[in-house]
A and B are shown apart, each in its own frame.
Chain A
Amino acid sequence: MRYFGDVAALARKDLLLELRSRDTLPAMLLFVLSTLVVFHFALPAETSETAETGLLWVALLFTALLGLVRAFVAEREQRVLDGLVLAPCDRSAIWLGKGIGVVAFLVLAEVVALPAYALFFGPVGWELVVAVALADIGLAAVGTLLAAMAAASRARELLLPLLFLPLVIPVVVGGVGASVSAHPGRYLAFLGLYDAVFAILSWASFEYVVTE
């Protein structure tokens, strides 16, 4: 129970920081909305549903990346991560608390993105909503771990996309598949499996990322 108390304190802190600074969420909202507007005007009228869905996933992926680039900014600037690492809590709680914050920002961005997609392109089915929800967990799990790795590096702005994008290709495959396939269940199960595997790997390896 103490572990989840630590996670709650850390996640609450991230939401409070965003409420105060408003650095990340407005940028994510503006980015995903403007990307969908650009796609709406850039694509020819006869574009297939598969292509439109693919573009939605590209927009969501880069929106997540935008949030992840800023995920550890507060910790890096004041070396607060050292303070958190020294605390006698399980270090994976730092990853989980941060991951919950990332999921919260992604969900808020999608609350805007999905209705915008429905407005510009076509209806949003339940499969797409479930796929996006499952993808959020995977993106946050992998992204938070990689963001912590990148935060310790000088080339962090370059390193994070280079590591993150190849690792989340399965999320795009599963997400697009679930959205356009006649049998979305298989793709949703694939996304669930991806979430489980990468959440466990990230949870277990976070300690080694933030310590020498």
Chain B
Amino acid sequence: MTVIRARGLGRDFGAKRVLRGLDFDVARGGFLVVTGPNGAGKSTLLSLCAGLLAPTSGELRVDAERAEIGYLAHEPLVYRELTPLENLDLYGRLYRIPERRERIGMLLERFGLWEARHERAESFSRGMTQRLALCRALLHEPRLLLLDEPYAGLDEAGTELLDDELQTLARERTLVVATHEPERVGRLATSTLALA
């Protein structure tokens, strides 16, 4: 069963054509790796799949509700003035997560942010912010995960943690990962899309 189906997908920003004529499918439980140089349109493609942008041409069908999509963007999508607990609690309420506090505590523990749970996100390093962004994207246990450069800013421990996490997620979820380092996730991938 297909979760994402794109036919002739294109997206322009004004006069600039970022994506053109893309055809691909992602099956349920599939793992699509999107590669390409800077400006190739990897982030745009993920924004289209998340429903944040609309295609300029072609067709894109995503068989998932908003509540079933987890999206890790370039920016962490968290409030800098709030703590990890406050940020995740807000999203937890909006996503109506049952046993929200337990889920948040478990994620913060797993991503090594439990000790910093009462610190404001503005005091975090790039790597800690990325860990918090990953917690936010995974909070509601999404069926479809869209990850844009998930390894960005992570140190060695964070990278290994994410490797383990992706290995687990690949068994039970559908993933689309945009990355400059396809070799990191290559062994998990079921298909690859190279953007020029």
Contacts and interface: CB of A to CB of B under 8 A. Distances in A.
Whether chain B is bound by chain A comes out as: yes
Interface of A: 2, 5-6, 9-10, 13, 16-17, 20-21, 74, 77-80, 82-89, 211-212
B12 to A, nearest CB: 12
Interface residues of B, number: 28
A77 B80 CA distance: 9
Contacts of B69: 86
Nearest to B74: A79
Contacts, number: 74
Residue from B71, B73, B91, B94 whose CB has the most chain A CB atoms within 10 Å: B94
Contact of A6 (B51, B52, B80, B94): B94
Nearest to B67: A88
B81 A86 contact: no
Name B's interface SS: loop
A87 B75 contact: no
Contacts of A9: 90, 93-94
Contacts of A211: 51-52
Contacts of B67: 88
Given A82-B73, A86-B66, A17 B79 contact: yes
A87 B95 contact: yes
Interface of B: 50-54, 65-67, 69, 71, 73, 75-82, 86, 90-91, 93-96, 120, 136
Nearest to B69: A86
B82 A17 contact: yes
Interchain residue pairs A-B with the least CB separation, the first 6? A83-B77, A88-B67, A87-B94, A212-B54, A79-B75, A20-B81
A91 B12 CA distance: 26
Contacts of A77: 80
A83 B94 CA distance: 10
